Chain A
Amino acid sequence: MRAFTYERAASPRQAAQAAASTDHARFIAGGTNLLDLMKIEVETPTHLIDVNGLGLDTIEATEEGGLRIGALVRNTDLAADQRVRRDYAVLTRALVAGASGQLRNKATTGGNLLQRTRCPYFYDTNMPCNKRRPGAGCAALDGGASRQLAIIGASEHCIATHPSDMAVALRVLDARVETVDARGGGRSIPLADFHALPGDTPHIETVLEKGEFITAVTLPRPPGGKHFYHKVRDRASYAFALVSVAAVVQPDGSGRVALGGVAPKPWRDEQAEAALPRGAGAVVAKLLDGARPTPDNRFKVTLAERTLAAVLAEAKE
C-alpha cells in the first residue's frame, strides 16, 4: 500500500471539488473494495476523501412514488428496509446474496456500484492486464483461466465481469444514479447507461467524470409482480455469481430480466423481454445473441437459460 493523505469531506459538492482538483484521489465509503485493492497496489491513490458522515445514509420516498437511496446507505440497511422488502424484493434478495453479513454492514450503495472486477489477473500485479495498465495485454484472454469471466459485452481487450449483485437488481428496477460534480451541477444517469463496456478502454468502467460523486440511487414506482434473484455459484454462499438472474414477473407472464455474472455490466435487453411468454430459451437466445464465450465459460450460456427457466417455473407456482 502506498502512503496517502486523507481528508473528511464536508459536503457532497466539496467532496467532488476535492476529487476533481487532486490527482490520484479516491472517495472512500465502506472501503471494503478499495482498501483490499490498495493493499496489493492495484489501486494506488495518493489521497483519500472520506465521504462517510455526509448524511447520505437515508432512504426517502420520492414524489413520483419511488425511493431515493442515499449513496452511503449500507447494503445491510438497504436490504432490510421495509419498503424495499415489500415493493422491490428483487433488490433485497440480490443484496443478501452478496458478500457476507460483515461486509454488507460496511458496503455502501455507491461503493457497490463501483466495485471492481474479480478477474484473477486483475488481482495479480505480475500479470498483464489492460484494465490495470492500458495497453499491457490481457492475461485472461491470452490463455489464462477465464471460467468466471464475461461471455458477452466484452472485447478483445478485456473480458472481465462486473461482479455486483445489487446492480443487477437495480437494472431490472430501472434505477438511476444521481451525482454532483465539482461545479455544483449534477445529473441523473439511468443505470443502463452508467457502466461502460470495455471496448479498447477497459480501464474506463463508468460514465462518471473526474470528481463526479454519487449522492443517491433512485428507484421509480414499484413495478409490482413477483420478484426473483437466483444466484448460481460453486458454493452455497460467499462467492461471486457464475450467473445470476434478476427478474420481475407479472401475472400475465410479461416481465423484466437482467443477468449478472456474464458481462461487464448488468445485462438486460428490453426487447428480449418480449419473448418471456415463449419461455427462457427464447429470451436468452436474444439476450445472449452475439455471445463470445471462451472454452472455460461456454457453460454460462446454458446456465443462464436454465436459471431463467427455473425462475419462470417458480413464477408459475
Chain B
Amino acid sequence: MRFDQPADPNVADQGKVLGRPRTRIDGPLKTTGTAPYAYERHDVAPGQLVGYPVVSAIAKGRITAMDTRAAKNAPGVVAVVTTLDMERLPKAKMNVVYLFGGREIQHYHQAIAVVVAETFEQARAAAALVRTDYDEDRGASYDLAEQRQAHLDDEVEPASRVGDFERAFADAPVKLDATYSTPGQCHAQMEPHASIAEWKDGTLTLWTANQMVEWSRQALAKAFDLPPEKVRLDSPYIGGGFGVKLFLRADAILAAVAARETGRPVKVALPRPMIANNATHRGLTIQRIRIGTDRDGRITAIGHDNTTNTPPGGGGEEATIPTEHFYAGANRLLVHRPLEMHLPESNAMRAPGDTAGQMALEIAMDEMAERLEMDPVAFRVLNDTQVDPGKPERRFSERHFVECLRRGADEFGWSHRNRRPGDRRDGVWLIGHGMAGAYRGAPAQASGARVALRPDGRVRVDTDMTDIGTGSYTIIAQTAAEMLGVSVDAVEVGLGDSDSPVSAGSGGQWGAASATAGVYAACVALRERIAERLGADAATLELVDGQVCHGGETRPLAGLAGDRDLVAEDKIEFGDFRDKDYVLATFGAHFVEVSVHAYTGEIRVRRQLAVCDAGRILNPITARSQVIGGMTMGVGAALMEELKVDTRRGFFATHDLASYEVPVHADIPEQTVIFLEGEDPYSTPLKAKGVGELGICGVSAAVANAVYNATGVRVRDYPITLDKFLDQLPLPA
C-alpha cells in the first residue's frame, strides 16, 4: 500500500480499541521474568558455549602481539579468537568504527578477542589471562574544548543558511550570544548487549537484542560475506535500546566468530563496564547560539553553531537540528562541525541531535525572554511558526505547539511561578520554576506485516518490528484488533524475527507510526481476502466482535477458511508528499519546579509536567510510559549524567553504573503527562506520530531554567552539578 496523500476516514478511525488505554500484552511475561531475552535463550540451540570479550586497553594505536597461551590452557576453555586471526571484518555504513579484525585500535575498549569456554566463569577468568602488547599513538587530543579552539577558524559549509544572518543579528536591538556544552551520554540501557550465534548448514542464526532487525541482518551478511538469506536474526525482546542497539555491535560479531571457530553455538554479552566505551554514546557538544529579536521579541536572526566529537567518518551529535524548524525568524544560520577524535563512537541516542540541541536552544530561549522581560511562554508563543521558516511554501501538517504551551502553563499554575530568580524560599530550599518547548520530527519508514486469520477466529500478526520496551506488541495487537473486529486478547503478535516481513524497526521515533501503518496495510489486504471468500465488497464489509456482517448476514470469523489460515501480507510505503510539501513533527511543552538547597546546592526536582502534541495517541498508557521515561532521562541529562572524558588517555572514565549516575526513584517526582487530542492525516493512515523521542526533548532545559530561576545563577554547562554554581550562590543570612 502506498501512502501518497493524506489519510481519509477509514476503518482504523473507529476508536474501539485504538486510542484506548490498554496495559501491555507482554507485561505479564516481563513481570514474571518469563519473556525470553537474548542471553537466556538456552532452549534455542543445544550445547551453548560462553564467550567473554577482551577489549583494548588503549585508545589509539596498533596491537603488536597477543599472547593467548595461558588463556587457551585455562580450565574449560574451548577457543580463543583474536582480532589478529582475521582481516578487519567489513562494516555496514551505519557503523562508524570497525567492530573486529586487524591490528588497528580505533578506540578504548574496542573488542580484540573473545575467549570461549564451557561456563561463564571459566571464560571470564581466562579472558583476564590474555596479554596484549600495543604500539600506542600518543599525543592525540581528546579534549573537545581544546579541539574546538584549534578549529574555530576552519571554513565549514553551513548546514543551512537562510537570508542574511550576520546582518540581521548585527542589527537586532535585543540579542544573545551564548555558548553551552553538553557531555557525552551513555544509553545506560538495562539489558546489556547480548547475542547467541549458531552456524548450521551454511546459515548463521543470531538470537540477539537489536532494534533494527533488517539493518543488522544485512550488516551481519556483509561482515561474514554471506548472502542475506543465509542470515537469520531473532530479537523478540529487548531490554532497552535508546539507539545503542540500532546497529550491529561487538556482542553479535564476537558470538558469530566464536561459533564459527568452535562449531558450537556461543553466547556473548558485553559486561557493563565495557558498554560505555565499546558501544556508542551521545557525542559531546559545544554549542554557540545567537538569537536576535526586534523590540517586541520577534526573532529576526537565529544562529546555531555546534561542535561535536566523532571518530573519522561519522557525524557526531547534530545539535543544530531543532533550530532548523522550531521557531520563526527570517535569517538563519546553522553550522555543524564534527571534529574527528579517537574517543569511542558517537552515534544515535534517543532523539539524536534534538536532545542535545534543545538542551542548549531552550536555555537560550529562556535567556532571551529574560532580556526582553517577557514571559518565556509568551516569547515562544510569539515566535511560533506554522510553516518551515526556511521554505515557507512547506507548512507544518499539524502543529499545536502554542496549545501545548498554553495548556501546560494553565495546568502547571505558571502564573504563580517565582518571577525573580533567587527570590522564593521554602525553609532552606530555594524554589524555582522553569519551562521549555519540545520539538521532534515525525518521520516514517516503509513497514511490512503478515496477518493471518486462524481457523479458530484468532488473529496472528508477524513482522520483524521490535519492541524495545516501548509497547510495540500492544499497539500492533490493538491495530489488528481494530481492523479485524476482534478483541486484543484474540490477537497474537510475533516480533523481531527476520523471517517475518521487514518493518520500519525501532528508531528515530518512527517505529510506532510506521509499524502500525504496515499492520494496517496487511489488515486491509486481509479484509479483502475475507471479502473475496464471501463474494462481498471489502468496502462494505463490517467486522465486529469476531463476526463478519455483509448483506444482512452475520457469521463468525472462525472457520471462514475451513481449517486453514487466511493470510495476507502487505507493506506501507510512504510517498514523498509527506516531506516535500509538509513538515511533520511533534511538539511539547515542559514545566518543572525544582528546589535547590540554599547552603549545599543540592537540587531536587519537585514536579514535572509535559503537554504533548503528537497526532493520534494509539494507546495513552504506553505513550505516557514513553514520555515519563523521556522526562526521567531528561532529568538525568540535566543534573547528573556525564561520560567523563579522561582527556589524557582518551576514554570515558565513568564507565559503570556507579560512576555514570542516572536518576534513581528518589530523584523523580510527580510527573504529569497530557496529550492533546488530535490526528495527523498527513502522517499515516492511522494519523499517528511517535512520542518516544519527543518525551526527552526540552526536558533538561526546563530543569536548567528552573534551577536558574531558583538560584539566580545561570549554568550553561551540563550536567548542572552543584560545583558549577555553589560559589555564586549567596549563603543564607
Q: Are B599 and A235 in contact, CB atoms less than 8 angstroms apart?
A: no
- Of the candidates A120, A142, A233, A310, the one having the most CB atoms from chain B within 10 angstroms of its own CB is A120
- Flag whether A123 is at the interface (Cβ < 8 A): yes
Q: Is the CB of B639 within 8 A of A299?
A: no
Are the CB atoms of A306 and B667 closer together than 8 Å? no
Instruction: Say yes or no: is A61 at the interface (Cβ < 8 Å to chain B).
Output: no
Q: Does A203 contact B (CB under 8 A)?
A: no
Which residues of the partner chain B approach A240 to less than 8 Å between Cβ atoms? Answer: 658
Say yes or no: A234 contacts B721, CB within 8 Å: yes
Per-residue contact bits, chain B 642-665, to A (CB 8 Å; 1 contact, 0 not): 001111110001111011010111
Q: Of the candidates A121, A127, A147, A237, which one forms a contact with B666 in the assembled complex, judged by CB atoms under 8 Å apart? A: A237
Q: What residues of chain A lie closer than 8 Å to B722, measured between beta carbons?
A: 232, 234, 242, 299, 303
Most buried by B among A123, A124, A143, A147: A124
Instruction: Determine whether A195 belongs to the interface, using a CB cutoff of 8 Å to chain B.
Output: no
The contact of B726 among A145, A238, A303, by CB within 8 Å, is A303
Which chain B residues lie closer than 8 Å to A142 at the CB level?
648
Q: Is A118 among interface residues, defined by CB-CB distance under 8 A?
A: yes
Contact B57 A306 (CB under 8 A): no
| Docked-complex contact A236 and B667, CB < 8 angstroms | yes
B723 in contact with A313 (CB, 8 Å): no
The answer to whether B245 has its CB under 8 Å from any CB of chain A is: no
Q: Does A5 contact B (CB under 8 A)?
A: no
Q: With contacts A235-B639, A299-B722 known, is A143 near B646, CB below 8 A?
A: yes
Q: Does A135 contact B (CB under 8 A)?
A: no
Partner of A235, one of B128, B601, B647, B664: B664
Residue of chain B at shortest CB distance from A297: B723
> Is B160 interfacial (CB 8 A cutoff)?
no
Given A40-B273, A234-B721, does the pair A313, B599 have CB atoms closer than 8 Å?
A: yes
Are A123 and B656 interface neighbours, CB within 8 A? yes
Chain B residue total in the interface (Cβ 8 A): 42
Question: Are B667 and A235 in touch, CB under 8 angstroms?
Answer: yes
CA distance A236 to B662 in the complex (A): 11
Beyond A1-B125, A2-B125, whether A236 also contacts B654 by CB under 8 A is no
Q: Are A239 and B723 closer than 8 Å at their CB atoms?
A: no
B602 within 8 A of A: yes
Q: Which residues of A contact B600 (CB under 8 A)?
A: 230, 232, 303, 306-307, 310
- Name the contact of B661 in the complex, choosing from A2, A118, A143, A239 (C-beta under 8 A): A239
Q: How does the 8 Å CB contact mask read for A209-252 relative to B, with 1 for contact and 0 for none?
A: 00000000000000000000010111111111010000000000
Question: Can you name the residue of chain A whose Cβ is closest to the Cβ of B74?
Answer: A3
B170 at interface, CB cutoff 8 A = no
CB of A41 within 8 Å of the partner chain? yes
In the assembled complex, the Cα of A306 lies from the Cα of B601 at a distance in Å of 9
Per the bound structure, the CA–CA distance linking A310 and B125 in Å amounts to: 48
Per-residue contact bits, chain B 355-380, to A (CB 8 Å; 1 contact, 0 not):
00000000000000000000000000
Q: Cα distance A314–B146 when bound, in Å? A: 44
User: Does B640 have its Cβ within 8 Å of any Cβ on chain A?
Assistant: yes
B646 in contact with A306 (CB, 8 Å) = no
How distant is the Cα of A2 from the Cα of B74 in the complex, in angstroms?
A: 11
Chain B, residue nearest A126 (CB): B57
Tell me which of A143, A299, A302, A307 contacts B647 (CB under 8 A): A143
B663 touches A235 (CB 8 A): yes
**Considering the chains assembled together, what is the distance between the CA atoms of A314 and B428 in angstroms?**
9
Contact assessment for B723 and A299 in the assembled complex, using a CB-CB cutoff below 8 Å: yes
Whether A302 touches B726, Cβ cut-off 8 Å, given contacts A40-B273, A118-B658, A120-B659, is: yes
Those of B707-733 within 8 Å (CB) of chain A: 719, 721-723, 726-727, 731-732
Cβ-based interface call for B604 (8 A): yes
- Does residue B121 face the partner (Cβ distance < 8 Å to A)? yes
Q: Is B597 an interface residue (CB 8 A)?
A: yes
A29 at the interface (CB under 8 A from B): no
Separation of A227 and B647 alpha carbons in the complex (Å) = 42
Is A54 an interface residue when CB atoms closer than 8 A count as contact? no
Within 8 A of A (CB), among B600-633: 600-602, 604
Tell me the nearest residue of chain B to A237, going by C-beta: B666
CA of A121 to CA of B667, assembled, Å: 27
Is A208 close to B, CB under 8 A? no
Q: How many A-B residue pairs have CB under 8 A?
A: 103
Q: Does chain B have a CB within 8 A of A37? A: no
Indicate if the CB atoms of A121 and B653 lie closer than 8 Å.
yes
Q: Tell me, rounded to whole Å, the shortest Cβ–Cβ distance linking A42 to chain B.
A: 11
Q: Majority SS of interface residues in chain B?
A: loop
A120 and B664 form a contact (CB under 8 A): no
B124 contacts the other chain (Cβ, under 8 Å)?
yes
* Contact of A124 with B655 at beta-carbon distance under 8 Å, contacts A2-B125, A145-B646, A236-B664 already known: yes
Over the window 277-317 of chain A, the binary record of Cβ atoms lying under 8 Å from chain B Cβ atoms (1 yes, 0 no) is 00000000000000000000001001100110110011000
Tell me the smallest distance from the CB of A173 to a CB of chain B, in Å: 23
Beta-carbon contact of B121 and A1 below 8 Å: yes
A139 at the interface (CB under 8 A from B): yes
Residue of B nearest to A143 (CB): B648
Is A199 interfacial (CB-CB < 8 Å)? Answer: no
Q: Are B644 and A147 in contact (CB under 8 A)?
A: yes
- Give Cα distance in the complex from A233 to B600, angstroms: 10
Does residue A53 face the partner (Cβ distance < 8 Å to B)?
no
- Smallest CB-CB separation from A310: which chain B residue? B599
Tell me, yes or no, whether A144 is within 8 Å of chain B by CB.
Answer: yes
Alpha-carbon distance A163/B337, docked complex (angstroms) = 41
B602: chain A residues within 8 A (beta carbon):
232-233
User: B192: shortest Cβ distance to chain A, in Å?
Assistant: 14
CB neighbors of B among A258-288 (8 A): none
A145 to B659 alpha-carbon distance, docked (Å): 11
Contacts of A234 in B (CB 8 A): 639-640, 661, 719, 721-722
Residue among B599, B653, B654, B661 making CB contact with A306, cutoff 8 Å: B599
Find chain B residues with CB under 8 A from A238 CB. Answer: 664, 666
Report how far A197 CA is from B182 CA in the complex, Å: 37
What is the chain A residue whose CB lies nearest that of B109? A126
What chain A residues lie within 8 Å of B601 (beta carbons)? 303, 306
CA A232 to CA B601, docked complex, whole Å: 9
Minimum CB–CB distance for B516 against chain A, Å: 36
Give the docked Cα–Cα distance between A234 and B658 (Å). 12
- Give A222 to B707 CA distance when docked, in angstroms: 41
Q: Which residues of A contact B721 (CB under 8 A)?
A: 234
Query: Would you call B640 and A302 a contact (CB within 8 A)?
Result: no
From 92 to 137 in chain A, residues with beta carbon under 8 angstroms from any chain B beta carbon are 118, 120-121, 123-124, 126-127
Bound together, the chains give a CA A123 to CA B647 distance in angstroms of 18
Query: Hey, which chain B residues are within 8 Å of A127, CB to CB?
Result: 649
Contacts A238-B664, A310-B428 given; indicate if A123 touches B599 (C-beta within 8 A). Answer: no
Residues on B with beta carbons closer than 8 Å to the beta carbon of A235: 639-640, 661, 663-664, 666-667
Query: What residues of chain B lie closer than 8 Å to A307, measured between beta carbons?
Result: 599-600
Decide if B646 touches A299 in the complex (CB within 8 Å): no
**Which of A126, A237, A242 has a CB less than 8 Å from the CB of B664?**
A237
Q: Which residues of chain B have C-beta atoms less than 8 A from A232's C-beta?
A: 600, 602, 722
**Cβ–Cβ contact A144 & B648, under 8 A:** yes
From A1, A144, A310, give the contact of B597 (CB < 8 A).
A310
The verdict on A145 contacting B664 (CB below 8 Å), with A299-B726, A303-B726 known, is: no
Contact at B125–A299, with CB atoms within 8 Å? no
Q: Are B654 and A120 in contact, with the CB atoms below 8 A?
A: yes
For B647, list chain A residues within 8 Å (CB): 143
Q: Which 9 A-B pairs have the closest CB atoms?
A: A143-B648, A310-B599, A299-B723, A126-B57, A236-B666, A237-B666, A145-B653, A145-B644, A234-B640
Known: A40-B273, A242-B722. 14 other contacts (CB 8 A): A2-B128, A139-B649, A144-B646, A147-B644, A234-B661, A234-B722, A236-B667, A242-B723, A299-B726, A302-B726, A303-B601, A306-B726, A307-B600, A314-B428
- List 18 interface pairs A-B (beta carbons < 8 Å), by A numbering: A40-B273, A118-B659, A124-B273, A143-B647, A144-B648, A144-B649, A148-B659, A230-B600, A234-B722, A235-B663, A235-B667, A236-B667, A237-B664, A237-B665, A239-B661, A303-B723, A307-B600, A309-B731
Residues of A in contact with B (beta carbons under 8 Å apart): 1-3, 39-41, 118, 120-121, 123-124, 126-127, 139, 142-145, 147-148, 230, 232-240, 242, 299, 302-303, 306-307, 309-310, 313-314
